[in-house]
């Protein structure tokens, strides 16, 4: 019998800090007040000119490997979760494998938008549990959405940011550690409400696409305000019940880091203290598929996680895709 446990965490963010005041000047109005009061965002990091998604992944991977005491040669599989890939094809994971010199590692990308890291964590866990050839899997969530922002669009330009973070999942015969359960769920009727809708086969790049700004991230329609807290609450109740837990027994929650009010509302629905959700959006903005592992790494480095803690990941993103998983730390 085998299980997958989180051996190490790590992260990387660009050095370029973009404070809310930048957007006050850019847009000619006070957006700082709304961002702080409603989302808790004060600043974020954007890629420097020479940085790409693979740059973020590589530096995060170096941090993860250092914290795991493993070498690149020890990695059996690399999964990169991103919807801002290095290329449309080939995978960003293949670029990272080459950069790291992880010569024996297989690779693939996962795109479930901002639910990507938790989806990849679920996949990686099951690779390890099912196949003894996989003992160390590098899972990274990466986001370079600043490359896809329309600088005149207040709805997107003030929210989205860049970063990468992840984990080494390793095999163990101790079934009290690591992966417990998971759930993937999608509300596909929202697939055309938010996204980057040019560059694929639906709308290949053209002069017209570039002139119209169709290659930028867009909120095409306004999502129901209750969609995240309602769905998060339902999924969390489902997966805790499945393994004979109640939400109050979860020691730490790691949510998609976009809206502090949605996080608080969910915890209130579950009768759980708001202090059990570690957040990082105050200084890093919204980093999509990177935000949950960034929050995990931040909590880990600050000593907020102890052996035996039960932790729950709850991610959501365009599609609308939802992914949740429970681990014993």
**Residues listed for the chain:** 329
Rounded Cα–Cα distance for residues 11 and 142 (Å)? 10
Tens-digit pLDDT string for the chain (329 aa): 999 999 999 999 999 999 999 999 999 999 999 999 889 999 999 999 999 999 999 999 999 999 999 999 999 999 999 999 999 999 999 999 999 999 999 999 999 999 999 999 999 999 999 999 999 999 999 999 999 999 999 889 999 999 999 999 999 999 999 999 999 999 999 999 889 999 998 999 898 888 888 899 988 888 888 899 999 999 999 999 999 999 999 999 999 998 899 999 999 999 999 999 999 999 999 999 999 999 999 999 999 999 999 999 999 999 999 999 999 99
12: which strand partners? 164
**Helix (H/G/I), strand (E/B), else coil: 119:** helix
The dihedrals phi and psi of 239, each to the nearest 5 degrees, come to -75, -30
Per-residue pLDDT, 175: 93
E strand or H helix at 237, and its extent?
A: helix 227-242
Cα angle 212-214-220, degrees, rounded to a multiple of 5: 115
- What DSSP assignment string belongs to 257-288? SS-HHHHHHHHHHTT--GGGB---HHHH-B-G
> Which residue's entry shows tokens 């099912």?
130
Question: What are the residues whose beta carbons fall under 8 Å from the beta carbon of 275, sequence distance 6 or more?
Answer: none
Rounded Cα–Cα distance for residues 5 and 213 (Å)? 43
- What DSSP assignment string belongs to 56-110? HHHHHHHHHHHHHT--GGG--EEEEE-SS-S-SSS-HHHHHHHHHT-TT-EEEEE
Half-sphere exposure of 88 (CA within 13 A, CB side): 7
- Token pair in block for residue 203: 């709308």
Please state the separation of Cα 314 from the chain's center in Å. 10
Q: Is 5 left (phi over 0), alpha (psi -120 to 50) or beta?
A: beta
The answer to whether 209 touches 203, Cβ cutoff 8 Å, is: yes
The answer to whether 236 touches 314, Cβ cutoff 8 Å, is: yes
The answer to whether 100 touches 58, Cβ cutoff 8 Å, is: yes
What pTM was computed for the model? 0.95
Question: Which domains are seen in the chain, by residue range?
Answer: 3-175 (3.40.47.10), 179-328 (3.40.47.10)
β-pairing, 252-255 with 218-219?
Answer: unpaired
Rounded Cα–Cα distance for residues 1 and 181 (Å)? 16
**Helix (H/G/I), strand (E/B), else coil: 137:** strand
Per-residue pLDDT, 223: 85
Closest CA to 119 of 293, 281, 252: 293
């Amino acid at each position: 019998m085998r299980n997958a446990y989180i051996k190490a965490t790590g992260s990387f963010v660009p050095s370029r800090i973009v404070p809310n005041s930048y957007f006050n000047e850019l847009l000619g109005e006070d957006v700082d007040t709304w961002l702080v009061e409603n989302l808790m965002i004060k600043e974020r990091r954007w890629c420097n000119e020479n940085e790409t998604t693979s740059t973020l992944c590589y530096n995060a991977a170096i941090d993860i490997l250092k914290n795991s005491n493993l070498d690149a040669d020890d990695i059996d599989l690399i999964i990169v979760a991103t919807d801002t890939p290095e290329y449309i094809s080939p995978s960003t994971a293949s670029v990272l494998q080459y950069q790291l010199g992880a010569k024996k590692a297989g690779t693939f990308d996962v795109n479930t938008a901002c639910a990507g890291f938790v989806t990849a964590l679920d996949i990686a866990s099951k690779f390890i549990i099912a196949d003894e050839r996989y003992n160390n899997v590098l899972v990274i969530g990466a986001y370079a959405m600043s490359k896809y922002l329309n600088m005149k669009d207040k709805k997107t330009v003030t929210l989205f940011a860049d970063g990468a973070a992840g984990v080494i999942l390793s095999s163990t015969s101790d079934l009290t550690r690591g992966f417990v359960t998971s759930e993937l769920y999608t509300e596909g009727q929202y697939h055309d409400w938010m996204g980057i809708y040019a560059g694929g086969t639906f709308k290949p790049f053209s002069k017209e696409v570039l002139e119209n700004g169709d290659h930028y991230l867009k909120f095409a329609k306004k999502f129901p305000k209750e969609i995240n807290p309602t769905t998060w609450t339902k999924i969390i109740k489902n997966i805790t019940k499945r393994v004979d837990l109640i939400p109050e027994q979860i020691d730490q929650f790691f949510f998609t880091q976009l809206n502090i009010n949605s996080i608080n509302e969910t915890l209130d629905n579950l009768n759980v203290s708001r202090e059990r959700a570690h957040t990082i959006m105050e200084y890093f903005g919204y980093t999509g598929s990177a935000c949950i592992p960034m929050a995990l790494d931040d909590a880990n480095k600050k000593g907020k996680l102890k052996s035996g803690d039960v932790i729950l990941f709850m991610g959501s993103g365009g599609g609308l895709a939802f992914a949740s998983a429970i681990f014993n730390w």
